[in-house]
Amino acid sequence: MLTIGKRDKEVLLDPLYRAGRGFYILLGVLIIIMGWGLFMYIRQIVFGLGVTGMDRPAYWGMYMVNFIFFIGISHAGTLISAILRVTGAEWRRPITRIAEAITAFALVVGTIQIFFDLGRPDRVLYLFTYGRLQSPLLWDAVSVTAYFLGSIVYLYLPIMPDAALLRDNLPEEAPPWRRHLYKWLALGWRGNRTQWLRLEKMIAVMAVLIIPIAISVHTVISWILATTVQPGWHSTVFGPYFVVGAIFSGIGALFIAMTLTRRALHLEAYITEKQFRYLGYIFITMSAIWFYFTYAEHMTQAAGQLAEEFPILASKLWGPFSASFWVMILAMVAAFVVLVFPLLLPDSWSKYRIFNPRFTLANAVVAGVAIVLLQVPGMQRVVANLSPGLPPITLRIIALVAGVLAIISLLPWLKRHLIDTMVIASALVLVGMWLERWNIIVPTMVNPRLMPSSWYTPTLTEWSLFAASIALFIFMFVLFFKLVPAVSVWEVREGRVIDDVRSQVPMPAPEPSSSARGAMRRSLEETEPTY
């Protein structure tokens, strides 16, 4: 029988058998949203895709945006679990399972979007009966199939020892189905040396395999667009651009999932600030790379000035898609500022009065009022009547300065609240990344090659299915962590062993160079005490 320490059992295993009122309320709300989504989907099947905003030439809309978005989020597991496992990053241990679960569930939700987009779900069979190897859609089916099966296995393998632990430490009051479930999941796990060595070997192989598969998934998704000659999509940079965006949004989703799971299950002793800090460094790096690729993608379009391509760029910069484009940029810049600037702020600066939450609030209110006056229709006339000498440019400057001051004065608070900072940045990144997918798909769709331009607005059906997709993702996530510990118990305990062994090895000071040795000797001779 496998045993577990009292503290680990109390925090990691016991909550699996307890469920408060909040849990059931959350499940109820999610089921209602999913039920509404199911109703709207059945309605779409009955009445056809005409109930969506899609029409020729915009035959890809929100469903395709969501497909790319969710598949992108699925990269969280690969990055955190596989890459960090391969590189031996010890701090990954408490967060690998959450990352791997995100991968599996985001892939499920992402794949469902294809069924939504097809209108008639039976047509998915055409991919197999009529699929030709020359089609990027088929390459996508190949890579997503491999990634999905690989991710499920990669999620399951580290669960085996924990399932055995649950099987052997099941409380008497636990329902019989749990005993069957854990027995089945443990797959005869006994925990002897041979099994451990085989399991570790298998996990290592999967970790190495899953990385290139994950990279292939998102590059192939980009090829669905890039292998067409549609303006704005026919780009060689799309492959890495999509992968970077996927990892970026994946980390964002992981931060939010980590924080919510940590608070809900009281895992503060396991998921510490260390995980947030180190993952935050990777987040900052991905942010910088994302900015670089975004600049490269748009710069080449601007420099090329192709007759078919430039209107799409113009529609994003100052045309009908400028709102979604600039909100995306603003969200990403804000996320970068929130992530980086607190790190640069010296502690001693906190004494200045500018770094005050009240000052932040005042500036935010001023900036908000200025933006409302600028953006809300009819308000500009009111401003002109009240203050004839106040041109819109002055209001813009006021909004900008007040906004910048609000952010600057918030920096010490952000520095003190690392986890909250990461959640704010992650929320901004997720919004920005969803808009990025929108800005890639929709402007090209409504301005296609060799066809007159059109317009696309998602309908209630599409918004409902989007909400239902998010609800399904959360539902699977919440339910999964009611069955399996959110932290990989054996990996955390193994980490403690490694920490313990390392603490027993005295680390010698760096050996000084010969010149430094001479200087040290002379210094010691000069300061030698005389008795």
Partner 1 sequence: MNFPMDNPFFQFLYWIMNTPGIGGIVVVVEATLIVIAVSLSLRWINKGADAPEKEQFAYPTSALHHYKPKRRGFGGL
Q: What is the CA radius of gyration of the chain?
A: 27
Residue 489 interacts with partner 1 (CB under 8 A)? yes
The single residue listed with the structure tokens 């601007």 is 302
In whole angstroms, the minimum distance from the beta carbon of 493 to partner 1 comes to 4
For 369, counting Cβ atoms within 10 Å of its Cβ (0-12 exposed, 13-18 middle, 19+ buried), the class is middle
Options 21-29, 111-119, 136-144, 387-395: segment touching partner 1 (CB under 8 A):
136-144
Number of alpha helices (DSSP H) and beta strands (DSSP E) in the chain: 22, 0
146 near partner 1, rule: CB under 8 A:
yes
Q: Least distance to partner 1 from the beta carbon of 281, Å?
A: 28
3-class SS shares of the chain: helix, strand, coil, % to 5: 75, 0, 25
One DSSP character per residue, 384-414 reads HHH-TT--HHHHHHHHHHHHHHHHHHHHHHH
Give the one residue of 60, 69, 70, 189 binding partner 1; rule: CB under 8 A: 189
User: Residue 406 is encoded by which pair of tokens?
Assistant: 């609000």
Determine, following the binding rule CB under 8 A, whether residue 188 of this chain makes contact with partner 1.
yes
Residue choice 21, 193, 351, 353 for contact with partner 1 (CB under 8 A): 193
Q: How many residues does the chain have?
A: 531
First to last CA, the chain: 66
Q: Does 524 bind partner 1 (CB under 8 A)?
A: no
* Binding flags for partner 1, 114-133, as an x/- string (CB under 8 A): -------------xxxxxxx
Q: Which of 102, 112, 160, 253 binds partner 1 (CB under 8 A)?
A: 160
Min dist. Cβ of residue 199 to partner 1 (A): 6
Residue choice 27, 51, 59, 135 for contact with partner 1 (CB under 8 A): 135
Nearest partner of 13 among 190, 167, 175, judged by Cα? 167
**Element spanning 241, H or E:** helix 238-264
Distance CA 369, CA 231 (A): 39
Tell whether residue 510 is a contact of partner 1 (CB under 8 A).
no
What the block records as the tokens of 329 is 């940029």
Interface characters, 436-475, with partner 1 (x: CB under 8 A): ----------------------------------------
According to CB under 8 A, which residues from 162 to 181 bind partner 1? Answer: 165
The answer to whether residue 351 forms part of the interface with partner 1 (CB under 8 A) is: no
Near partner 1 by CB under 8 A: residue from 17, 196, 291, 359: 196
The first and second tokens of residue 384, run together, are: 């002109």
**What is the C-alpha separation between 188 and 524, in angstroms, rounded?**
65
Instruction: Confirm or reject binding of residue 504 to partner 1 (CB under 8 A).
Output: yes
Q: How many residues bind partner 1 (CB under 8 A)?
A: 51
Q: Which of 26, 138, 282, 345 binds partner 1 (CB under 8 A)?
A: 138
- 326-355 as b/e: b if 16+ CB within 10 A: eebbebbebbbbbbeebeeeeeeeeeeeeb
Q: Does 388 bind partner 1 (CB under 8 A)?
A: no
Angle between helices 322-344 and 273-304 (to 10 degrees): 140
Q: Does 54 bind partner 1 (CB under 8 A)?
A: no
Q: Which is nearer to partner 1, 110 or 448 (CB)?
A: 110
Query: Which one of residues 120, 179, 190, 396 is an interface residue with partner 1 (CB under 8 A)?
Result: 190
What residue ranges bind partner 1 (CB under 8 A)? 1-4, 127-135, 138, 141-142, 145-146, 149-150, 153, 160-161, 165, 187-200, 202, 489-491, 493-494, 497, 501, 504-508
